[in-house]
């Protein structure tokens, strides 16, 4: 399917033309039919055949009167192609110029000129003037067809011209995220809330869950071109039957979004092009209305420098870089400028000269690597998935550092690594018995956005990360000033594994409760009591001795077999009980588990 919007002055025959092409009535309201004038958007479709091939064409018929310019922009905004209509007997008129200004502001490049009412006047003059004016817009040099909606003259040529036109449109994206701008919302008895719109990208499916404002809705049913469908790919006119929302909770300007795939914003940096070629960004009014998709939002302009402008929106919208806005002056009922969105998450402008500096950065918006590097630099580190929700291109990460799911600013990464090393050294100097930083402390000190960055950062800094702590290599076992005493203790227990030294002997070696706790923390001893320790393999060696005893055994039998004292034997046996290696049978007997 291809979607084509109409454009042109009021009463130049746009609706008559659509009716002649499709056999359908695009004017939906009784008032429209009574007045013979379109006042809201109309929709119709037809299948155009060429040999064995056929193409579905859907038309969005927009109103031409200046009072309904907002409705016109809602219909024109999401459409990829335009059929510009001028009447042969009236020629170029005021709303012709207004509609062309909107087309130009949107940057549309695919269009066709149709000169209607050619049965009432020679179309040559109107065609020449219209083509000349259109040529100065984004449409450039367009083909032209003269027709009569009343007699049908020229309609076969028009159908062929439309086929030729849509054949030049780029292949639409049918995968990825969805954004459907709502242009109508109504209820159908037995079905509930239905919304319609032009699907520009992705695919809608029955059963899909979508985001709508602050709520979640699901797709109950789909129709396209009047037929039920289980899936509708872009580009298409589509009606969506929704579950989870009442009709008074949704309307034109809302957007159905893939959940979690879009971010909304009320602050944009844009490049503007005033409709008046002699005007600059500073000549634009400070307050305008921005039209995006079917939405119309009041905005405040802050010129940055040159053609760069910051827009503050009255309320947030789902916007991505590359979106085109029409900036309209509601006081003059005229298009003031077109704008291209460059950044949906711009930085604050708090320093003198920041606006001009920002404009210089925005001048590189077509350099995807530079855009990505600038966005990551401002955040320090950001998930690639989060950038995707903002529409920031991530295809060229050559100027950023990729760490798992994160993109990191290289200077920020280097600063983090240096700061981490400094913090580790400070920890070691402050508490030699505990020279390593905990992961949480390291993360808080650096301001890391995610703990998953810590291990690769420690490696980059030449540090060791293990067991949730960061330290210098080897610091996981080094006890600093207590190392000499530890050497004495380890030699003593190597010779007599179960002869745990008493407190006076430990203190003589410089090993108090704090030193023994640090030794246990790094895995160099097992503490049976605050001041009673064995080597780490002590419990396992004791089990081998106990397993050789007749089962069950008494505390006294265990003490003799281990060649130790009751002072050590009782806490050692209790330690083995806690580990589940031995089992108490009664007050005086134990057995090795499984024996």
* 174-195 confidence digits (pLDDT tens): 998 999 999 888 888 888 899 9
Residues 107 and 238 in one domain: no
Instruction: Label residue 67 by pLDDT band (50, 70, 90).
Output: very low
- Cis omega before residue 235 (within 30°)? yes
Domain co-membership, 41 together with 140: yes
The domain that holds 204 is classified in CATH as: 2.40.30.10
Per-residue pLDDT, averaged over 340-366, amounts to 91
pLDDT of 27 > 50? The answer is no
The verdict on 25 and 152 lying in the same domain is: yes
**Strand ranges for 225-330 from DSSP E:** 227-229, 231-233, 236-243, 255-257, 264-274, 287-292, 295-305, 308-318, 324-329
- In this prediction, residue 360 has a pLDDT band, given cuts at 50, 70 and 90, of very high
Q: Tens digits of per-residue pLDDT, 424-480?
A: 999 888 887 778 899 999 999 999 999 999 999 999 999 999 889 898 887 666 677
23/148 same-domain check: yes
Is there a single domain that holds both residue 189 and residue 297?
no
Q: What's the chain's Rg over C-alpha atoms?
A: 38
Question: What is the spatial distance between Cα 193 and Cα 215, in angstroms, rounded to a whole number?
Answer: 14
* pLDDT tens-digit readout, 538-556: 999 999 999 999 999 999 9
Percent of the chain topping pLDDT 90: 56
Whether 380 maps to a domain, the answer reads: no
Strands (E), 293-390: 295-305, 308-318, 324-329, 334-343, 381-383
Q: Are residues 26 and 83 in the same domain?
A: yes
Asked if 58 and 22 count as a contact pair (C-beta separation under 8 A), the reply is no
Residue 479 in domain? no
Residue 587 has pLDDT above 90, yes or no: no
**Are residues 77 and 154 both part of a single domain?**
yes
| 348, burial (CB in 10 Å: exposed 0-12, middle 13-18, buried 19+) | exposed
Domain count, the chain: 5
Residue 36 pLDDT > 60: no
C-alpha dist (Å) from residue 556 to 360, 371, 564, 587: 85, 77, 10, 13
Q: 185-193: long-range contacts at Cβ-Cβ below 8 A with a sequence spacing of 24 or more?
A: 185/247, 185/250, 185/251, 185/252, 185/254, 186/247, 187/247, 188/241, 191/220, 191/221, 191/241, 192/220, 192/241, 192/242, 192/243, 192/247, 193/241, 193/242, 193/245, 193/246, 193/247, 193/250
Task: End-to-end CA distance of the chain: give it in Å, rounded.
Answer: 78
Q: How far is the C-alpha of 76 from the C-alpha of 41, rounded, in Å? A: 10
Q: Is residue 130 domain-shared with residue 252, that is, in the same domain?
A: no
Can you tell me the distance from the alpha carbon of 517 to that of 533, in angstroms, rounded to the nearest whole number?
Answer: 10
Residue 172 lies in a domain: no
Is 384 among the domain residues? no
d(CA 241, CA 254): 15
Domain that holds residue 580: 486-592
From 441, 471, 501, give the residue that closes a domain.
Answer: 471
**Domain co-membership, 268 together with 360:** yes
Residue 386 lies inside a defined structural domain of this protein: no
Which pLDDT belongs to residue 243?
Answer: 92
Question: Does residue 499 lie in a domain region?
Answer: yes
| Same domain for 144 and 16 | yes
- Identify the domain boundary among 445, 471, 497: 471
Domain co-membership, 25 together with 127: yes
Looking at residue 556, the DSSP 8-state letter turns out to be H
**In-domain check, residue 533:** yes
Mean pLDDT, rounded, of the chain: 88
Residue 41 confidence (pLDDT): 55
Question: Tokens standing for 556?
Answer: 């006294």
Q: What is the mean pLDDT of residues 32-46?
A: 50
Long-range contacts, 184-190 (Cβ 8 Å, 24+): 184/41, 184/252, 185/247, 185/250, 185/251, 185/252, 185/254, 186/247, 187/247, 188/241
> Which CATH number does the domain housing residue 580 bear?
1.10.10.10
* Confidence at residue 69, expressed as pLDDT on a 0 to 100 scale: 55
Q: How far apart are CA 409 and CA 4, in angstroms?
A: 44
Do 143 and 276 lie in a common domain?
A: no
Question: Would residue 387 count as lying in a domain?
Answer: no
* Mean pLDDT of all residues in 43-55: 72
């Amino acid at each position: 399917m291809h979607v084509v919007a109409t454009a042109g002055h009021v009463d130049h025959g746009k609706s008559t033309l659509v009716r002649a092409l499709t056999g359908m009535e695009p004017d939906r309201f009784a008032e429209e039919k009574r007045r013979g004038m379109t006042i809201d958007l109309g929709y119709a479709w037809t299948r155009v055949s060429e040999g064995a091939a056929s193409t579905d064409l859907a038309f969005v018929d927009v109103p031409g009167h200046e009072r309904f310019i907002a409705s016109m922009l809602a219909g024109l905004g999401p459409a990829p192609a335009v059929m510009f209509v001028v009447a042969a007997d009236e020629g170029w008129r005021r709303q012709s110029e207004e509609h062309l200004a909107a087309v130009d502001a949107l940057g549309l490049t695919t269009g066709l000129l149709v000169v209607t009412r050619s049965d009432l006047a020679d179309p040559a003059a109107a065609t020449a003037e219209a083509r000349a004016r259109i040529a100065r817009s984004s449409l450039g040099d367009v083909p032209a067809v003269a027709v009569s909606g009343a007699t049908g003259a020229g309609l076969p040529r028009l159908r062929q011209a439309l086929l030729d036109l849509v054949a030049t449109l780029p292949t639409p994206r049918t995968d990825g995220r969805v954004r459907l701008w709502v242009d109508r919302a109504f209820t159908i008895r037995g079905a509930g809330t239905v919304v319609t719109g032009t699907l520009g990208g992705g695919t809608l499916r029955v059963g899909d869950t979508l985001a709508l404002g602050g709520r979640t809705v699901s797709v109950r049913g789909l129709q396209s071109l009047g037929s039920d469908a289980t899936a509708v790919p872009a580009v298409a006119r589509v009606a969506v039957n929704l579950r989870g929302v009442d009709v008074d909770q949704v309307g034109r300007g809302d957007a159905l979004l893939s959940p979690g795939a879009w971010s909304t914003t009320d602050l944009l940096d844009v490049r503007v092009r005033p409709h008046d070629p002699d005007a600059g960004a500073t000549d634009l009014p400070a307050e305008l209305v921005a039209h995006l998709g079917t939405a119309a939002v009041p905005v405040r302009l802050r010129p940055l420098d040159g053609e760069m402008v910051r827009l503050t929106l009255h309320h947030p919208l789902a916007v991505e870089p590359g979106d085109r806005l029409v900036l309209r002056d509601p006081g003059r009922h005229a298009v003031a400028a077109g704008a291209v969105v460059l950044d949906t998450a711009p930085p604050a402008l708090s320093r003198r000269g920041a606006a001009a500096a920002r404009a210089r950065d925005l001048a590189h918006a077509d350099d995807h690597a530079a855009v990505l590097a600038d966005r990551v630099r401002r955040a320090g580190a950001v998930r690639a998935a989060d950038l995707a929700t903002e529409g920031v291109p991530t295809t060229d990460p050559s100027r950023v550092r990729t760490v798992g799911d994160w993109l990191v600013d290289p200077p920020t990464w280097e600063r983090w690594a240096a700061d981490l090393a400094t913090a580790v050294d400070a920890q070691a100097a402050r508490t030699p018995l505990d020279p390593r930083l905990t992961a949480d402390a390291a993360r808080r000190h650096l301001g890391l956005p995610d703990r998953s960055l810590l291990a690769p950062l420690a490696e980059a800094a030449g540090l060791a990360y293990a067991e949730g702590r960061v330290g210098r290599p080897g610091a996981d076992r080094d006890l600093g000033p207590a190392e000499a005493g530890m050497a004495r203790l380890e030699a003593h227990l190597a010779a007599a594994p179960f002869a745990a030294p008493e407190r006076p002997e430990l203190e003589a070696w410089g090993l108090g409760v704090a030193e023994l706790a640090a030794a246990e923390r790094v895995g160099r001893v097992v503490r049976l009591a605050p001041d009673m320790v064995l080597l780490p393999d002590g419990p396992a060696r004791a089990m081998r001795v106990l397993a050789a005893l007749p089962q069950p055994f008494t505390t006294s039998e265990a003490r003799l077999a281990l060649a130790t004292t009751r002072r050590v034997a009782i806490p050692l046996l209790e330690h083995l009980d806690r580990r589940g290696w031995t089992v108490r049978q009664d007050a005086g007997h134990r057995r090795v588990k499984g024996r």
